Amino acid sequence: MNVFRRTYLKIGEFIRNTNERRNKNSIIYEMTCFFLTVLYPVFIVLMAELNQGKYPSRLVMFIVRNPMVFIFDIVVASAIFAALCLLFRKVWRAVAIQSIVYFILSITELFKFGTNGNHLIMTDMKLVKSMKSLTSFAYIKITPRLVIYTLIVLAYIGTVFWFNPKIRISIKKSIAPGIACAASVVSMFFFTAFSNPVYSFFRVDTTSADNVFILNEKFENNSFLAFFMQTASENLANKLVVPENYTEEAIVNYLGDNHGVVSSTSADPDFKKPNVIVVMSEALADFRVFDELKISDSCYEGIDQVAAEGHRGKLIVPTFASFTVRTEFELLFGLPVKSLNDPNMPQRMLAEREQPSVVRYYKGMGYNTAYVHPFLSSFYSRKRIYGRFGFDQMIFEDDFTVPVEYKGAYIKDKTVFDQIEKLIKESDEPLYVHTTTMQNHQPYTDGPSPKELDNYLSNIKLTADSLRAFTEHLKKIDEPTLLFMVGDHFPSFKNDENNVYEQLGINSSTCGSVFEQSYLIWSNYGEDFSDLPEEKFSAFYVPYVILDTIGAPKDTFVNAMTEKMKNLPVYSTQYDSSIPNDSELDVLTYDRVIGENISG
């Protein structure tokens, strides 16, 4: 006990001596304290930005090209620093808090862009709860430069702590200016009447970011800090609001008095109630559309064989490189994310209630329903949120009842197909399955080739061969079964010095092709696909195309959406930002997933 007491006393004495020394430093090194305090905003901005450019020369070139943006970053950092100093009363605490927050955000941006080619925006903070899932596939590379920059920041914090600059203003006099500094920064996020003139004065790029390529170009103009702040204020300003014409009268006008009623006469008399399998294949994309790449057909041979027995067409998906849940939302709800202002995670916007998804439509026809996703149930909060969609069964990576095989860190597509086949055999009723696969998820640095595209294509061949084997098994099952398959988005290649998209010259003006995805539809009972659309259409129309193909009975909503597809086949900001908003789609989407579900 005496040993612990002596240790405790020694620690206490050390702390007292240290604080005495620090208090003396505040007086002896007053000028040093002044410069450490005054120069801090410049220092932390330089370090946060330097961490993005990696080399000092790149940062210098950015400052030369965009001096006003750099000054803007310093002004904002100064306001935040002043608020922290005045409210916390300790300069070293303010330095520590701001340094940690700025550098964590800077490192997160570095890893995020290196993983999927998308820059960090404030709405990504919603994924903090899924950090365990994110780290399983994030491309995290600790470089010597990153270590050095981090040590420099920590050294600055330590230096400020040791020299101990003092706040000379009384508490009463510091509260008002502290709140004013904090309010000025907060106002930049919430009040466009204040933020827009400020952005204009400092020449911050405020171009409306309709897709990831525009965002990337905006990042080049603003760099990290100004980009993060401007996109945050832009997203808050564009927050979804209740449509002006959202009334029961408007919905009756769109759908008729009998909205929600299924007409028995609308079904095909030969309606077989086939099993319906919707496969949203992670990052599946046909790179043969780019002739310059000279991609061998052998990689896609299995997919081509299945498509030759069915039908192949083109879809417009609402995302590129990441945010799988955008495409998943459109396939599960038959509604456009454009009508929700294109959120990265639309499932987080849904009302906390049972949702009128496509799944429930099949349940209403007597189907068993299942969701299969070979990954963590917590990612994107799928287990919690999708539990309100009407699935009878949800199978995540720990729930598979067939032998599980892996390709790298992810469960193989073959395993997913085996699980679906087992579900079909075990179900006494016709089965509706939605699966979101994982085998072809990034990173693509794991493989025999130094080129990401080559490693990616070797994975695609596995998917193609597994799909072909799966359809051969379905032919032997004495149950009518229809299969629909599409990739959620084109993959991201960020770790090749000259990645594929840069080679192809794809930018904000030429990026339409990477939002076009080939889909295939196939059946084991000779379904007639001759009436399927020849033109491209948005992914949210897929549920209605499938219902029409199998001859299912339709309610007024399904009929209305089927008609809408004829007049407005593509409704996607990412693909074409010039498409004007459609009041009918916007009102119906809001009503079904956020509003009162009058249309249900």
For 86-115, the pLDDT digits (tens) are 988 899 999 999 999 999 999 888 888 877
Name the DSSP class of 401: -
* CA–CA separation, 88 and 318 (whole Å): 45
Domain covering 248-593: architecture: 3-Layer(aba) Sandwich (3.40)
Contacts with 491 (C-beta within 8 Å, 6 or more apart), sequence order: 283, 285, 321, 440, 442, 444, 456
Domain-by-domain residue ranges, the chain? 2-237, 248-593
Which pLDDT band, with edges at 50, 70 and 90, does 483 fall under?
very high
Please write the tens of the pLDDT for every residue from 38-75: 999 999 999 999 988 767 888 999 999 999 999 999 99
Please write the tens of the pLDDT for every residue from 350-394: 999 999 999 999 999 999 999 999 999 988 889 999 999 999 999
Percentage of the chain beyond pLDDT 90 is 67
Identify whether the C-beta of residue 53 lies closer than 8 Å to the C-beta of residue 59.
yes
Which pLDDT band, with edges at 50, 70 and 90, does 212 fall under?
confident
* CA–CA separation, 255 and 259 (whole Å): 6
Please write the tens of the pLDDT for every residue from 499-555: 788 889 898 888 899 999 999 999 999 999 999 999 999 999 999 999 999 999 999
More confident residue, 256 or 431: 431
Which residue do the tokens 């997160």 mark? Answer: 108
pLDDT of residue 130: 53
Q: In terms of Cα–Cα distance, which of 442, 437, 451, 430 is closest to 362?
A: 430
Task: Say yes or no to pLDDT of 497 above 70.
Answer: no
Task: Say yes or no to pLDDT of 138 above 60.
Answer: no
Identify whether the C-beta of residue 49 lies closer than 8 Å to the C-beta of residue 227.
no
Q: Can you read off the two tokens belonging to residue 405?
A: 């095989």
Q: Can you read off the two tokens belonging to residue 500?
A: 């594929």
pLDDT of residue 167: 85
* CA–CA separation, 115 and 138 (whole Å): 6
DSSP E strands, 132-269? 262-263
